């Protein structure tokens, strides 16, 4: 098991055709604390300087920063910088999980508190509508009596085989029916597809946003989606808790993935969203760089 320290630089730049008189924005740019991830330092700079600024926790426990710029401006730049330590998975092997039907049936019952939290990820959300076509797609891997972890791993692998990464093929509003037909999209689409497939079978799945290591260690392949915010899926497995799957790269997220936020789908964890007065047409440029600060360290160093 190793501990890797990363530096993350996430810059968003809006350029407007006409002055903006007021801009109010919400940011999901602060990495979460998890059992395997700890933030050493984090700060967000905004130019022009906001007149109002604050932070709060959203419904899902993500740290949400909000600000308002009240002076006229034709450019808005938001830079988030973080130093994060990520612990790699141990070598214990895949988690033991019950049959997927057991999990589905257990969540249909009124049970103890630990099952109430995953139950909120069972239902339709703004970008994920459970549907029969998704259930049929998922059932190719969810055989009778098959363990949930094994079934979810097989679904991740099939999405990776069946769909092609194409940043020009979709937008944030592209429906899952179109994705199923065209079989092209980006990490956000593949995460939504896997989540919708699982929910269509009555299984809880949540959307995770974060980052990937931009330049992988020597001898390892570069992961797709490393130059922007990334997205993957977390599946609830009783006994193991939430288990992550990255269908874009066909891997289980480990020490090259950094978690920022999670929710029902992309709409809950948008890195930056808000409203403006004025501005007219605009361009937006987003760049993300994730680099290791040090060589791998032993935990506790």
What pLDDT, in 10s, does the model give residues 34-52? 999 999 999 999 999 999 9
Using pLDDT thresholds of 50, 70 and 90, give the confidence band for residue 111.
low
| Site of tokens 């092997």 | 93
Using pLDDT thresholds of 50, 70 and 90, give the confidence band for residue 239.
confident
pLDDT at 227 over 90: no
Residue 84: is it exposed, middle or buried by C-beta count within 10 angstroms (0-12/13-18/19+)? buried
Domain ranges of the chain: 3-87+269-292, 100-268
pLDDT at 296 over 80: no
| Site of tokens 């930056």 | 272
Using pLDDT thresholds of 50, 70 and 90, give the confidence band for residue 196.
very high
Which pLDDT does position 222 carry in this prediction?
Answer: 67
Which pLDDT does position 295 carry in this prediction?
Answer: 46
Which pLDDT does position 194 carry in this prediction?
Answer: 98
Which pLDDT does position 110 carry in this prediction?
Answer: 63
Distance, in Å, from the CA atom of 19 to the CA atom of 210, rounded to the nearest integer, reads 32
pLDDT at 246 over 60: yes
Q: Percent of the chain, pLDDT > 70?
A: 92
Which pLDDT does position 78 carry in this prediction?
Answer: 98
Contact 40, 5 (CB under 8 A): yes
Which pLDDT does position 298 carry in this prediction?
Answer: 41
Please tell me the least confidently modeled range out of 101-115, 180-194, 224-238, 269-283: 101-115
Architecture of domain 3-87+269-292: Sandwich (2.60)
Pairing of strands 205-212, 257-263: antiparallel
Which pLDDT does position 297 carry in this prediction?
Answer: 42
Using pLDDT thresholds of 50, 70 and 90, give the confidence band for residue 54.
very high
pLDDT at 148 over 80: yes
Positive or negative CA dihedral for 154, 130, 181, 173? Answer: negative
Residue 233, helix vs strand vs coil: strand
Selecting from 3.10.620.30, 2.60.40.3500, 3.40.50.300, 1.10.3720.10, what CATH number does the domain 100-268 have?
Answer: 3.10.620.30
For residue 113, the 8-state DSSP code is: G
Distance, in Å, from the CA atom of 173 to the CA atom of 37, rounded to the nearest integer, reads 31
Using pLDDT thresholds of 50, 70 and 90, give the confidence band for residue 213.
confident
Using pLDDT thresholds of 50, 70 and 90, give the confidence band for residue 92.
low
Q: Percent of the chain, pLDDT > 90?
A: 78
């Amino acid at each position: 098991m190793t501990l890797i320290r990363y530096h993350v630089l996430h810059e968003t730049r809006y350029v407007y055709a006409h002055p903006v008189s007021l801009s109010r924005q919400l940011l999901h740019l602060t990495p979460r604390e998890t059992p395997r991830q700890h933030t050493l330092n984090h700060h967000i700079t905004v130019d022009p300087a906001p007149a109002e600024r604050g932070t709060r926790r959203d419904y899902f426990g993500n740290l949400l920063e909000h600000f308002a710029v009240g002076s006229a401006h034709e450019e808005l730049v938001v830079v988030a910088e973080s130093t994060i330590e990520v612990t790699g998975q141990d070598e214990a092997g895949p988690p033991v999980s019950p049959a997927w039907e057991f999990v589905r049936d257990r969540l249909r019952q009124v049970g103890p508190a630990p099952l109430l939290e995953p139950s909120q990820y069972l239902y339709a959300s703004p970008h994920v509508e459970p549907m029969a076509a998704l259930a049929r797609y998922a059932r190719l891997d969810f055989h009778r009596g098959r363990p949930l972890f094994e079934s979810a791993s097989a679904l991740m692998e099939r999405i990776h085989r069946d769909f092609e990464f194409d940043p020009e093929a979709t937008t944030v509003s592209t429906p899952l029916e179109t994705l199923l037909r065209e079989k092209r999209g980006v990490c956000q689409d593949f995460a939504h597809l896997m989540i919708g497939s699982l929910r269509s079978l009555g299984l809880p799945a949540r959307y995770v946003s974060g980052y990937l290591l931009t330049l992988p260690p020597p001898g390892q392949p570069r992961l797709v989606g490393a130059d922007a915010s990334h997205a993957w899926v977390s599946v609830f497995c009783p006994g193991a808790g939430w288990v992550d799957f990255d269908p874009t790269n066909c891997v289980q997220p480990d020490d090259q993935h950094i978690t920022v936020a999670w929710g029902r789908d992309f709409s809950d964890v948008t890195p930056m969203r808000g409203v403006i007065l004025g501005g007219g047409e605009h361009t937006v440029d987003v760049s993300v760089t994730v680099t290791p600060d040090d060589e791998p360290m032993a935990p506790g160093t």
